[in-house]
Structure 1
Protein backbone atom coordinates (compact mmCIF):
# COMPACT_ATOMS: atom_id res chain seq x y z
CA UNK A 1 0.00 0.00 0.00
CA UNK A 2 1.30 3.48 -0.86
CA UNK A 3 2.32 5.75 2.03
CA UNK A 4 -0.57 7.83 3.40
CA UNK A 5 -3.23 6.09 1.30
CA UNK A 6 -6.39 8.13 1.78
CA UNK A 7 -9.25 6.23 3.43
CA UNK A 8 -12.63 6.77 5.05
CA UNK A 9 -14.53 5.42 8.06
CA UNK A 10 -17.44 3.26 6.85
CA UNK A 11 -19.89 0.62 8.08
CA UNK A 12 -21.92 -2.29 6.74
CA UNK A 13 -25.14 -1.84 8.68
CA UNK A 14 -24.58 0.59 11.55
CA UNK A 15 -25.48 3.74 9.61
CA UNK A 16 -22.11 5.31 10.44
CA UNK A 17 -19.43 6.77 8.24
CA UNK A 18 -19.26 7.02 4.49
CA UNK A 19 -21.37 4.98 2.10
CA UNK A 20 -19.19 2.54 0.11
CA UNK A 21 -20.56 3.78 -3.20
CA UNK A 22 -19.47 7.31 -2.26
CA UNK A 23 -16.02 5.96 -1.32
CA UNK A 24 -15.71 4.26 -4.69
CA UNK A 25 -16.84 7.37 -6.55
CA UNK A 26 -14.18 9.43 -4.72
CA UNK A 27 -11.48 6.90 -5.65
CA UNK A 28 -10.85 5.82 -2.04
CA UNK A 29 -8.99 2.53 -1.63
CA UNK A 30 -8.93 1.90 2.15
CA UNK A 31 -11.57 1.90 4.88
CA UNK A 32 -11.76 1.57 8.61
CA UNK A 33 -14.91 -0.44 9.20
CA UNK A 34 -17.34 -0.09 12.09
CA UNK A 35 -18.09 -3.66 13.19
CA UNK A 36 -21.50 -4.81 11.99
CA UNK A 37 -24.30 -6.11 14.20
CA UNK A 38 -23.89 -9.68 15.44
CA UNK A 39 -26.31 -11.01 12.79
CA UNK A 40 -23.98 -9.72 10.05
CA UNK A 41 -20.87 -11.39 11.47
CA UNK A 42 -21.51 -14.78 9.87
CA UNK A 43 -19.10 -16.43 7.42
CA UNK A 44 -21.72 -16.11 4.66
CA UNK A 45 -22.13 -12.35 5.24
CA UNK A 46 -18.35 -11.91 5.50
CA UNK A 47 -17.80 -13.68 2.18
CA UNK A 48 -20.41 -11.49 0.47
CA UNK A 49 -18.88 -8.34 1.97
CA UNK A 50 -15.36 -9.38 0.95
CA UNK A 51 -16.57 -9.93 -2.60
CA UNK A 52 -18.11 -6.44 -2.60
CA UNK A 53 -14.88 -4.85 -1.33
CA UNK A 54 -12.84 -6.73 -3.95
CA UNK A 55 -15.20 -5.49 -6.63
CA UNK A 56 -14.73 -1.90 -5.40
CA UNK A 57 -10.95 -2.32 -4.96
CA UNK A 58 -11.19 -1.31 -1.28
CA UNK A 59 -9.05 -2.76 1.56
CA UNK A 60 -10.29 -2.77 5.19
CA UNK A 61 -7.45 -1.66 7.50
CA UNK A 62 -9.10 -1.62 10.98
CA UNK A 63 -12.39 -3.07 12.27
CA UNK A 64 -13.78 -0.85 15.05
CA UNK A 65 -15.87 -2.16 17.91
CA UNK A 66 -18.83 -0.27 19.30
CA UNK A 67 -21.46 -1.38 21.80
CA UNK A 68 -25.18 -1.07 22.49
CA UNK A 69 -25.85 1.43 25.26
CA UNK A 70 -22.96 3.75 24.43
CA UNK A 71 -23.85 7.44 24.28
CA UNK A 72 -21.70 10.45 23.41
CA UNK A 73 -24.43 12.94 24.39
CA UNK A 74 -22.05 14.88 26.66
CA UNK A 75 -18.80 14.20 28.51
CA UNK A 76 -20.35 12.80 31.77
CA UNK A 77 -22.61 10.44 29.76
CA UNK A 78 -19.64 9.29 27.66
CA UNK A 79 -17.75 8.61 30.87
CA UNK A 80 -20.59 6.44 32.21
CA UNK A 81 -21.44 4.50 29.03
CA UNK A 82 -18.51 4.13 26.63
CA UNK A 83 -16.05 1.30 26.15
CA UNK A 84 -14.72 -1.35 28.53
CA UNK A 85 -14.44 0.91 31.60
CA UNK A 86 -18.06 0.80 32.92
CA UNK A 87 -17.97 -2.26 35.25
CA UNK A 88 -21.58 -3.37 34.76
CA UNK A 89 -21.19 -3.93 30.98
CA UNK A 90 -17.49 -4.83 30.90
CA UNK A 91 -17.65 -8.65 30.75
CA UNK A 92 -20.27 -8.69 27.96
CA UNK A 93 -18.36 -6.08 25.96
CA UNK A 94 -15.02 -7.87 26.27
CA UNK A 95 -16.76 -11.02 24.99
CA UNK A 96 -18.21 -9.01 22.10
CA UNK A 97 -14.82 -7.48 21.25
CA UNK A 98 -13.43 -11.01 20.95
CA UNK A 99 -16.26 -11.84 18.52
CA UNK A 100 -15.41 -8.66 16.59
CA UNK A 101 -11.75 -9.78 16.47
CA UNK A 102 -12.97 -13.12 15.03
CA UNK A 103 -15.02 -11.22 12.44
CA UNK A 104 -11.99 -9.09 11.50
CA UNK A 105 -9.94 -12.25 11.13
CA UNK A 106 -12.56 -13.79 8.80
CA UNK A 107 -12.38 -10.56 6.79
CA UNK A 108 -8.58 -10.85 6.61
CA UNK A 109 -8.08 -7.65 8.64
CA UNK A 110 -5.22 -7.68 11.14
CA UNK A 111 -6.34 -4.76 13.34
CA UNK A 112 -9.26 -4.14 15.67
CA UNK A 113 -9.92 -0.78 17.30
CA UNK A 114 -12.12 0.70 20.01
CA UNK A 115 -12.70 3.55 22.43
CA UNK A 116 -11.72 1.79 25.65
CA UNK A 117 -13.47 4.55 27.68
CA UNK A 118 -12.41 6.97 30.41
CA UNK A 119 -9.53 5.14 32.12
CA UNK A 120 -9.26 6.27 35.79
CA UNK A 121 -6.46 8.85 36.17
CA UNK A 122 -5.45 7.42 39.54
CA UNK A 123 -3.38 4.30 38.81
CA UNK A 124 -3.97 3.07 42.38
CA UNK A 125 -7.75 3.00 41.76
CA UNK A 126 -8.82 -0.71 41.64
CA UNK A 127 -10.79 0.08 38.47
CA UNK A 128 -7.55 1.10 36.75
CA UNK A 129 -6.02 -2.33 37.38
CA UNK A 130 -9.19 -4.02 36.14
CA UNK A 131 -9.14 -2.06 32.86
CA UNK A 132 -5.43 -2.91 32.40
CA UNK A 133 -6.35 -6.59 32.87
CA UNK A 134 -9.16 -6.57 30.29
CA UNK A 135 -6.90 -4.76 27.79
CA UNK A 136 -4.30 -7.50 28.33
CA UNK A 137 -6.97 -10.16 27.84
CA UNK A 138 -8.14 -8.60 24.55
CA UNK A 139 -4.57 -8.11 23.31
CA UNK A 140 -3.67 -11.73 24.10
CA UNK A 141 -6.80 -13.02 22.33
CA UNK A 142 -6.10 -10.88 19.24
CA UNK A 143 -2.40 -11.79 19.22
CA UNK A 144 -3.29 -15.45 18.58
CA UNK A 145 -4.69 -14.29 15.21
CA UNK A 146 -1.74 -11.99 14.52
CA UNK A 147 -3.84 -8.89 15.18
CA UNK A 148 -3.03 -5.53 16.73
CA UNK A 149 -5.47 -3.71 19.02
CA UNK A 150 -5.76 0.05 18.40
CA UNK A 151 -6.99 2.37 21.16
CA UNK A 152 -8.64 5.51 19.82
CA UNK A 153 -7.43 8.73 21.43
CA UNK A 154 -9.69 11.28 23.06
CA UNK A 155 -10.57 10.39 26.60
CA UNK A 156 -6.97 10.45 27.90
CA UNK A 157 -4.12 12.89 27.70
CA UNK A 158 -1.06 11.70 25.77
CA UNK A 159 0.77 11.11 29.08
CA UNK A 160 -2.18 9.12 30.48
CA UNK A 161 -2.26 6.99 27.34
CA UNK A 162 1.49 6.32 27.52
CA UNK A 163 1.16 5.27 31.17
CA UNK A 164 -1.68 2.89 30.30
CA UNK A 165 0.10 1.32 27.30
CA UNK A 166 3.19 0.81 29.46
CA UNK A 167 1.13 -0.84 32.22
CA UNK A 168 -0.69 -3.14 29.77
CA UNK A 169 2.71 -4.18 28.42
CA UNK A 170 1.61 -5.85 25.19
CA UNK A 171 3.50 -5.48 21.90
CA UNK A 172 0.27 -5.55 19.87
CA UNK A 173 -1.35 -2.61 21.69
CA UNK A 174 -1.24 0.48 19.45
CA UNK A 175 -2.91 3.88 19.09
CA UNK A 176 -5.50 5.06 16.58
CA UNK A 177 -4.76 8.79 16.77
CA UNK A 178 -7.67 11.17 16.25
CA UNK A 179 -6.49 14.80 16.54
CA UNK A 180 -10.03 16.23 16.68
CA UNK A 181 -10.88 14.06 19.69
CA UNK A 182 -8.10 15.69 21.73
CA UNK A 183 -9.88 19.01 21.08
CA UNK A 184 -13.45 17.68 21.45
CA UNK A 185 -12.67 16.11 24.84
CA UNK A 186 -10.29 18.90 25.87
CA UNK A 187 -7.45 16.46 26.66
CA UNK A 188 -4.52 18.18 24.99
CA UNK A 189 -2.98 19.92 22.00
CA UNK A 190 -3.13 17.34 19.17
CA UNK A 191 0.21 18.13 17.50
CA UNK A 192 2.12 17.89 20.78
CA UNK A 193 0.18 14.69 21.65
CA UNK A 194 0.88 12.94 18.33
CA UNK A 195 4.62 13.53 18.81
CA UNK A 196 4.45 12.04 22.32
CA UNK A 197 2.62 8.85 21.34
CA UNK A 198 4.18 8.63 17.86
CA UNK A 199 6.03 5.35 18.30
CA UNK A 200 2.74 3.57 19.13
CA UNK A 201 0.76 4.84 16.13
CA UNK A 202 -1.00 1.99 14.36
CA UNK A 203 -3.60 4.08 12.51
CA UNK A 204 -4.91 7.64 12.39
CA UNK A 205 -8.06 9.62 11.74
CA UNK A 206 -8.15 12.86 9.83
CA UNK A 207 -10.88 14.84 11.55
CA UNK A 208 -11.14 18.47 12.62
CA UNK A 209 -12.74 20.34 15.51
CA UNK A 210 -12.92 23.63 17.38
CA UNK A 211 -12.15 24.00 21.10
CA UNK A 212 -15.02 24.44 23.56
CA UNK A 213 -15.20 27.55 25.74
CA UNK A 214 -14.54 25.25 28.75
CA UNK A 215 -12.42 22.36 27.41
CA UNK A 216 -12.89 19.09 29.28
CA UNK A 217 -16.21 20.20 30.78
CA UNK A 218 -18.18 20.57 27.57
CA UNK A 219 -17.76 19.24 24.04
CA UNK A 220 -15.79 21.01 21.38
CA UNK A 221 -17.41 21.16 17.96
CA UNK A 222 -16.60 18.86 15.03
CA UNK A 223 -16.24 20.74 11.72
CA UNK A 224 -15.28 19.86 8.13
CA UNK A 225 -11.61 19.01 7.59
CA UNK A 226 -9.45 22.13 7.35
CA UNK A 227 -11.99 24.40 9.13
CA UNK A 228 -11.03 23.64 12.73
CA UNK A 229 -8.20 24.12 15.20
CA UNK A 230 -6.13 20.99 14.42
CA UNK A 231 -4.05 22.54 11.62
CA UNK A 232 -3.97 19.76 9.02
CA UNK A 233 -0.59 20.64 7.51
CA UNK A 234 1.03 20.72 10.96
CA UNK A 235 -0.68 17.40 11.77
CA UNK A 236 0.61 15.67 8.64
CA UNK A 237 4.10 17.08 9.17
CA UNK A 238 4.01 15.69 12.73
CA UNK A 239 2.93 12.28 11.37
CA UNK A 240 5.89 12.37 8.98
CA UNK A 241 8.22 13.37 11.82
CA UNK A 242 7.21 10.32 13.92
CA UNK A 243 7.55 8.02 10.90
CA UNK A 244 3.88 7.18 10.34
CA UNK A 245 3.22 6.11 6.73
CA UNK A 246 -0.09 4.20 7.07
CA UNK A 247 -3.50 5.26 5.75
CA UNK A 248 -4.99 8.70 6.44
CA UNK A 249 -8.58 7.79 7.32
CA UNK A 250 -11.15 10.57 7.02
CA UNK A 251 -13.78 10.31 9.73
CA UNK A 252 -16.73 12.66 9.43
CA UNK A 253 -19.82 12.30 11.62
CA UNK A 254 -22.49 13.39 9.16
CA UNK A 255 -25.79 11.74 8.17
CA UNK A 256 -26.01 9.07 5.47
CA UNK A 257 -26.78 11.66 2.79
CA UNK A 258 -24.74 10.71 -0.30
CA UNK A 259 -24.63 14.23 -1.79
CA UNK A 260 -23.47 15.85 1.45
CA UNK A 261 -20.95 13.06 2.03
CA UNK A 262 -19.67 13.39 -1.52
CA UNK A 263 -19.23 17.13 -1.09
CA UNK A 264 -17.62 17.18 2.40
CA UNK A 265 -15.54 14.03 2.07
CA UNK A 266 -14.58 15.03 -1.46
CA UNK A 267 -13.23 18.35 -0.12
CA UNK A 268 -11.31 16.45 2.58
CA UNK A 269 -9.78 14.14 -0.05
CA UNK A 270 -8.71 17.17 -2.12
CA UNK A 271 -7.18 18.86 0.95
CA UNK A 272 -5.26 15.75 2.05
CA UNK A 273 -4.11 14.93 -1.49
CA UNK A 274 -2.66 18.43 -1.85
CA UNK A 275 -0.92 18.30 1.54
CA UNK A 276 0.40 14.79 0.86
CA UNK A 277 1.99 15.98 -2.41
CA UNK A 278 3.42 19.06 -0.69
CA UNK A 279 4.92 17.10 2.24
CA UNK A 280 5.93 13.78 0.67
CA UNK A 281 6.63 15.16 -2.81
Structure 2
Protein backbone atom coordinates (compact mmCIF):
# COMPACT_ATOMS: atom_id res chain seq x y z
CA UNK A 1 0.00 0.00 0.00
CA UNK A 2 1.49 3.25 -1.19
CA UNK A 3 1.04 5.31 1.95
CA UNK A 4 3.05 2.91 4.14
CA UNK A 5 6.82 3.20 4.33
CA UNK A 6 8.74 -0.06 3.96
CA UNK A 7 12.14 -0.72 5.51
CA UNK A 8 14.68 -3.54 5.43
CA UNK A 9 14.23 -4.52 1.80
CA UNK A 10 16.55 -7.33 0.66
CA UNK A 11 18.52 -6.48 -2.47
CA UNK A 12 17.23 -9.10 -4.84
CA UNK A 13 17.11 -8.33 -8.57
CA UNK A 14 13.75 -7.80 -10.16
CA UNK A 15 12.08 -11.01 -11.19
CA UNK A 16 11.96 -11.49 -14.96
CA UNK A 17 8.57 -11.46 -16.64
CA UNK A 18 7.44 -15.09 -16.83
CA UNK A 19 3.88 -14.35 -17.84
CA UNK A 20 2.56 -14.98 -14.34
CA UNK A 21 0.30 -12.64 -12.43
CA UNK A 22 2.38 -10.42 -10.15
CA UNK A 23 1.04 -8.43 -7.22
CA UNK A 24 2.16 -4.91 -6.35
CA UNK A 25 4.18 -6.25 -3.43
CA UNK A 26 5.97 -8.81 -5.57
CA UNK A 27 6.88 -6.34 -8.33
CA UNK A 28 9.11 -4.32 -5.99
CA UNK A 29 12.39 -5.33 -4.32
CA UNK A 30 11.68 -8.03 -1.75
CA UNK A 31 10.07 -6.96 1.52
CA UNK A 32 11.30 -8.52 4.76
CA UNK A 33 8.66 -8.99 7.43
CA UNK A 34 6.97 -11.32 9.93
CA UNK A 35 3.86 -13.49 9.80
CA UNK A 36 1.30 -11.95 12.16
CA UNK A 37 0.23 -15.24 13.80
CA UNK A 38 3.83 -16.03 14.72
CA UNK A 39 3.69 -13.15 17.19
CA UNK A 40 0.55 -14.58 18.85
CA UNK A 41 -1.12 -11.18 18.76
CA UNK A 42 -4.82 -10.61 19.33
CA UNK A 43 -5.14 -6.98 18.22
CA UNK A 44 -3.88 -4.68 15.51
CA UNK A 45 -2.21 -2.25 17.99
CA UNK A 46 -0.27 -5.17 19.50
CA UNK A 47 0.82 -6.32 16.05
CA UNK A 48 1.85 -2.78 15.15
CA UNK A 49 3.91 -2.45 18.34
CA UNK A 50 5.74 -5.77 18.01
CA UNK A 51 6.58 -5.23 14.35
CA UNK A 52 8.07 -1.87 15.29
CA UNK A 53 10.09 -3.45 18.09
CA UNK A 54 11.45 -6.00 15.60
CA UNK A 55 12.37 -3.25 13.16
CA UNK A 56 10.14 -4.36 10.28
CA UNK A 57 7.23 -2.68 8.55
CA UNK A 58 5.67 -5.66 6.78
CA UNK A 59 3.48 -8.59 7.69
CA UNK A 60 1.54 -11.40 6.12
CA UNK A 61 -1.66 -11.07 8.09
CA UNK A 62 -4.04 -13.76 9.35
CA UNK A 63 -7.61 -13.37 8.15
CA UNK A 64 -8.72 -14.49 11.60
CA UNK A 65 -9.22 -18.15 12.52
CA UNK A 66 -8.49 -20.55 15.39
CA UNK A 67 -5.03 -21.49 14.10
CA UNK A 68 -3.64 -18.12 13.06
CA UNK A 69 -5.37 -15.34 15.00
CA UNK A 70 -8.63 -14.24 16.52
CA UNK A 71 -8.74 -10.46 16.26
CA UNK A 72 -10.18 -8.36 19.08
CA UNK A 73 -11.38 -5.93 16.42
CA UNK A 74 -13.71 -8.53 14.88
CA UNK A 75 -15.31 -7.28 11.67
CA UNK A 76 -13.54 -3.93 12.12
CA UNK A 77 -10.11 -5.58 11.80
CA UNK A 78 -9.55 -4.57 8.15
CA UNK A 79 -10.19 -0.90 8.87
CA UNK A 80 -7.86 -1.02 11.87
CA UNK A 81 -5.14 -2.74 9.86
CA UNK A 82 -5.38 -0.25 7.02
CA UNK A 83 -4.97 2.60 9.50
CA UNK A 84 -1.92 1.01 11.17
CA UNK A 85 1.70 1.86 10.49
CA UNK A 86 2.63 -1.33 8.66
CA UNK A 87 2.42 -2.85 5.19
CA UNK A 88 0.48 -6.04 4.49
CA UNK A 89 1.90 -8.27 1.77
CA UNK A 90 -0.89 -10.85 1.77
CA UNK A 91 -3.49 -12.61 3.90
CA UNK A 92 -3.47 -16.14 5.35
CA UNK A 93 -6.45 -18.47 5.77
CA UNK A 94 -6.70 -21.49 8.04
CA UNK A 95 -9.77 -23.69 8.26
CA UNK A 96 -11.54 -24.46 11.56
CA UNK A 97 -11.18 -28.15 12.33
CA UNK A 98 -7.69 -28.61 10.92
CA UNK A 99 -5.81 -30.86 13.35
CA UNK A 100 -2.01 -30.66 13.32
CA UNK A 101 -1.45 -33.15 16.16
CA UNK A 102 0.27 -35.60 13.80
CA UNK A 103 0.94 -35.74 10.05
CA UNK A 104 -1.88 -38.27 9.79
CA UNK A 105 -4.45 -36.08 11.55
CA UNK A 106 -3.70 -33.11 9.31
CA UNK A 107 -3.85 -35.36 6.25
CA UNK A 108 -7.36 -36.33 7.33
CA UNK A 109 -8.51 -32.80 8.28
CA UNK A 110 -6.44 -30.32 6.26
CA UNK A 111 -7.56 -27.93 3.58
CA UNK A 112 -9.99 -29.25 0.97
CA UNK A 113 -9.01 -32.84 1.70
CA UNK A 114 -12.05 -33.96 3.75
CA UNK A 115 -14.80 -34.61 1.21
CA UNK A 116 -17.57 -34.01 3.74
CA UNK A 117 -16.18 -30.54 4.59
CA UNK A 118 -15.51 -29.21 1.10
CA UNK A 119 -18.73 -27.21 0.80
CA UNK A 120 -18.26 -25.74 4.28
CA UNK A 121 -14.66 -24.82 3.55
CA UNK A 122 -15.58 -23.28 0.22
CA UNK A 123 -17.93 -21.03 2.17
CA UNK A 124 -15.05 -20.16 4.49
CA UNK A 125 -12.93 -19.36 1.44
CA UNK A 126 -15.63 -17.00 0.17
CA UNK A 127 -15.52 -15.19 3.51
CA UNK A 128 -11.72 -14.98 3.39
CA UNK A 129 -11.76 -13.61 -0.15
CA UNK A 130 -14.06 -10.85 1.05
CA UNK A 131 -11.77 -10.08 3.96
CA UNK A 132 -8.74 -10.05 1.66
CA UNK A 133 -10.48 -7.45 -0.50
CA UNK A 134 -11.38 -5.40 2.60
CA UNK A 135 -7.69 -5.42 3.53
CA UNK A 136 -6.82 -4.00 0.12
CA UNK A 137 -4.86 -7.13 -0.79
CA UNK A 138 -4.72 -9.32 -3.88
CA UNK A 139 -2.96 -12.43 -2.48
CA UNK A 140 -4.50 -15.05 -0.17
CA UNK A 141 -2.39 -17.94 1.16
CA UNK A 142 -3.73 -21.28 2.42
CA UNK A 143 -3.01 -24.99 2.68
CA UNK A 144 -4.89 -26.77 -0.09
CA UNK A 145 -4.71 -30.07 1.78
CA UNK A 146 -2.90 -33.24 0.75
CA UNK A 147 -3.10 -33.33 -3.05
CA UNK A 148 -4.04 -36.80 -4.32
CA UNK A 149 -1.50 -38.42 -6.62
CA UNK A 150 -2.35 -39.33 -10.22
CA UNK A 151 -4.39 -42.52 -10.16
CA UNK A 152 -6.04 -41.71 -6.85
CA UNK A 153 -9.84 -41.95 -7.30
CA UNK A 154 -10.33 -38.61 -5.51
CA UNK A 155 -7.84 -36.65 -7.64
CA UNK A 156 -10.34 -35.35 -10.20
CA UNK A 157 -12.84 -34.19 -7.57
CA UNK A 158 -10.05 -32.58 -5.54
CA UNK A 159 -8.68 -30.73 -8.57
CA UNK A 160 -12.20 -29.65 -9.53
CA UNK A 161 -12.48 -28.17 -6.02
CA UNK A 162 -9.23 -26.24 -6.51
CA UNK A 163 -10.48 -24.95 -9.87
CA UNK A 164 -13.68 -23.74 -8.22
CA UNK A 165 -11.59 -22.00 -5.57
CA UNK A 166 -9.54 -20.37 -8.32
CA UNK A 167 -12.72 -19.25 -10.08
CA UNK A 168 -14.12 -17.65 -6.94
CA UNK A 169 -10.83 -15.90 -6.24
CA UNK A 170 -10.55 -14.74 -9.84
CA UNK A 171 -13.93 -13.05 -9.63
CA UNK A 172 -12.45 -10.94 -6.81
CA UNK A 173 -9.16 -10.31 -8.61
CA UNK A 174 -7.33 -12.40 -6.01
CA UNK A 175 -4.48 -14.89 -6.39
CA UNK A 176 -4.53 -18.02 -4.22
CA UNK A 177 -1.11 -19.27 -3.13
CA UNK A 178 -0.97 -22.84 -1.82
CA UNK A 179 1.58 -23.47 0.90
CA UNK A 180 4.23 -26.09 0.27
CA UNK A 181 5.03 -29.11 2.38
CA UNK A 182 2.12 -31.51 2.33
CA UNK A 183 3.20 -33.04 -0.98
CA UNK A 184 6.46 -33.37 -2.94
CA UNK A 185 7.28 -30.37 -5.11
CA UNK A 186 7.03 -32.58 -8.19
CA UNK A 187 3.39 -33.34 -7.41
CA UNK A 188 2.55 -29.68 -6.78
CA UNK A 189 4.31 -28.73 -10.02
CA UNK A 190 2.36 -31.37 -11.96
CA UNK A 191 -0.90 -30.25 -10.37
CA UNK A 192 -0.42 -26.56 -11.17
CA UNK A 193 0.51 -27.46 -14.74
CA UNK A 194 -2.60 -29.60 -15.03
CA UNK A 195 -4.93 -26.98 -13.57
CA UNK A 196 -3.61 -24.18 -15.79
CA UNK A 197 -5.26 -21.55 -13.57
CA UNK A 198 -3.29 -18.29 -13.81
CA UNK A 199 -4.28 -17.19 -10.29
CA UNK A 200 -3.14 -20.39 -8.52
CA UNK A 201 0.39 -19.91 -7.19
CA UNK A 202 2.72 -21.04 -4.38
CA UNK A 203 3.43 -19.78 -0.87
CA UNK A 204 6.84 -21.41 -0.37
CA UNK A 205 7.76 -22.70 3.09
CA UNK A 206 11.03 -24.67 3.04
CA UNK A 207 10.66 -25.87 6.64
CA UNK A 208 7.33 -27.53 5.92
CA UNK A 209 9.01 -29.75 3.36
CA UNK A 210 11.33 -30.95 6.11
CA UNK A 211 8.64 -31.25 8.78
CA UNK A 212 6.55 -33.46 6.47
CA UNK A 213 9.70 -35.09 5.00
CA UNK A 214 8.65 -34.18 1.48
CA UNK A 215 11.91 -33.62 -0.36
CA UNK A 216 14.67 -31.06 -0.86
CA UNK A 217 13.60 -27.41 -0.46
CA UNK A 218 16.38 -26.17 -2.75
CA UNK A 219 15.32 -28.46 -5.59
CA UNK A 220 11.71 -27.44 -4.92
CA UNK A 221 12.61 -23.78 -5.48
CA UNK A 222 13.92 -24.71 -8.93
CA UNK A 223 10.78 -26.69 -9.77
CA UNK A 224 8.26 -24.16 -8.49
CA UNK A 225 10.19 -20.95 -9.14
CA UNK A 226 7.95 -19.38 -11.80
CA UNK A 227 4.93 -19.70 -9.51
CA UNK A 228 6.37 -18.74 -6.11
CA UNK A 229 4.30 -15.80 -4.96
CA UNK A 230 5.45 -15.46 -1.36
CA UNK A 231 7.95 -17.10 1.00
CA UNK A 232 7.82 -18.11 4.65
CA UNK A 233 11.29 -18.09 6.22
CA UNK A 234 11.16 -20.93 8.72
CA UNK A 235 13.59 -23.71 9.65
CA UNK A 236 13.30 -27.34 10.72
CA UNK A 237 14.89 -30.76 10.94
CA UNK A 238 13.48 -33.85 9.28
CA UNK A 239 11.69 -36.48 11.38
CA UNK A 240 13.82 -39.28 12.76
CA UNK A 241 10.83 -41.66 12.85
CA UNK A 242 8.63 -42.20 9.75
CA UNK A 243 5.09 -40.91 10.22
CA UNK A 244 6.09 -38.40 12.91
CA UNK A 245 6.68 -34.67 12.70
CA UNK A 246 10.09 -33.23 12.14
CA UNK A 247 11.27 -30.54 14.55
CA UNK A 248 10.81 -26.82 13.94
CA UNK A 249 13.86 -24.86 15.11
CA UNK A 250 14.88 -21.18 15.06
CA UNK A 251 15.69 -19.79 11.64
CA UNK A 252 19.25 -20.61 10.62
CA UNK A 253 19.61 -23.54 13.05
CA UNK A 254 17.98 -26.30 10.99
CA UNK A 255 18.45 -28.25 7.80
CA UNK A 256 17.01 -25.71 5.34
CA UNK A 257 20.41 -24.07 4.89
CA UNK A 258 19.37 -20.42 5.04
CA UNK A 259 22.23 -19.09 2.93
CA UNK A 260 21.68 -21.71 0.22
CA UNK A 261 17.94 -21.10 0.29
CA UNK A 262 18.31 -17.33 -0.17
CA UNK A 263 20.81 -17.98 -2.97
CA UNK A 264 18.30 -20.31 -4.63
CA UNK A 265 15.61 -17.63 -4.50
CA UNK A 266 18.04 -15.12 -5.94
CA UNK A 267 18.94 -17.54 -8.75
CA UNK A 268 15.31 -17.75 -9.93
CA UNK A 269 14.92 -13.97 -9.77
CA UNK A 270 12.48 -14.02 -6.88
CA UNK A 271 11.54 -10.58 -5.59
CA UNK A 272 8.41 -11.28 -3.57
CA UNK A 273 7.89 -10.98 0.19
CA UNK A 274 10.12 -12.80 2.69
CA UNK A 275 8.07 -13.41 5.84
CA UNK A 276 9.77 -14.86 8.92
CA UNK A 277 7.53 -17.45 10.59
CA UNK A 278 7.88 -19.14 14.00
CA UNK A 279 5.18 -21.50 15.29
CA UNK A 280 6.82 -23.02 18.40
CA UNK A 281 7.21 -21.55 21.90
CA UNK A 282 5.46 -18.90 23.96
CA UNK A 283 5.22 -15.32 22.76
CA UNK A 284 8.46 -14.16 24.40
CA UNK A 285 10.43 -17.08 22.95
CA UNK A 286 8.95 -16.53 19.50
CA UNK A 287 9.79 -12.82 19.51
CA UNK A 288 13.36 -13.63 20.57
CA UNK A 289 13.77 -16.27 17.86
CA UNK A 290 12.17 -14.08 15.19
CA UNK A 291 14.49 -11.20 16.10
CA UNK A 292 17.54 -13.44 15.78
CA UNK A 293 16.19 -14.81 12.51
CA UNK A 294 15.72 -11.33 11.07
CA UNK A 295 19.31 -10.49 12.03
CA UNK A 296 20.56 -13.62 10.25
CA UNK A 297 18.61 -12.82 7.10
CA UNK A 298 19.75 -9.22 7.03
CA UNK A 299 23.37 -10.29 7.48
CA UNK A 300 23.19 -12.79 4.63
CA UNK A 301 21.44 -10.37 2.30
CA UNK A 302 23.93 -7.61 3.08
CA UNK A 303 26.74 -9.92 2.04
CA UNK A 304 25.11 -11.11 -1.17
Query: What TM-score, normalized to structure 1?
Result: 0.90
Report how far residue 21 of structure 1 moved. Answer: 2.1
Matched, 1:35 2:68: no
Match of 2:181 in 1: 154
Question: In the TM superposition, what is the alpha-carbon distance from 1:125 to its structure 2 partner?
Answer: 2.7
- Equivalent residue number for residue 69 of structure 1: 97
Check if 1:236 corresponds to 2:262. Answer: yes
Q: 2:31–2:272: 8 Å Cα contact kept in structure 1? A: yes
Match of 1:48 in 2: 80
Matched, 1:214 2:246: no
Q: Which moved more, 1:40-49 or 1:3-12?
A: 40-49
Q: Does 1:170 align with 2:202?
A: no
Q: TM-score, normalised by structure 2?
A: 0.83
Is the aligned partner of 1:80 residue 2:95? no
CA distance 1:13–1:67, change in 2 (3 Å):
farther
Between structures 1 and 2, the one with greater helix share: 1
Specify which of 157, 178, 182 is matched with residue 209 of structure 2.
Answer: 182
- How far apart are 1:42 and its partner, in Å? 6.6
Aligned residues: 271
Question: Which residue of structure 1 aligns with residue 273 of structure 2?
Answer: 247
Aligned pairs for 1:117-132 (under 5 A) are 117-121=145-149, 123-132=150-159
Give per-residue Cα distances to partners, 1:209-232, cap 9 Å, x unaligned: 0111135x2211000001100000
Which consecutive residues of structure 1, in runs of 5 or more, have no partner in the other structure? none
Q: Distance in 2 between matches of 1:214 and 1:190?
A: 20
Q: Establish whether residue 114 from structure 1 lines up as the match of residue 135 from structure 2.
A: no
Name the SS for the 1:124 alignment partner: coil
Residue aligned with 1:151, SS: strand
- Answer whether contact 1:208 1:223 (CA < 8 A) is retained: yes
Name the SS for the 2:145 alignment partner. Answer: coil
Contact 2:34/2:51 (<8 A) preserved? yes
Tell me which residue corresponds to 2:168.
141
Q: What RMSD in Å do the two structures reach over aligned CA positions?
A: 2.3
Residue of structure 2 equivalent to 1:21: 49
Contact 1:43 1:106 in 2 (8 A): no
TM-superposed CA distance for 1:264, in Å, is: 1.0
Deviations 1:3-60 (A, max 9, x none): 23211111499768x9442211112111111211499697633212321x2xx2x111
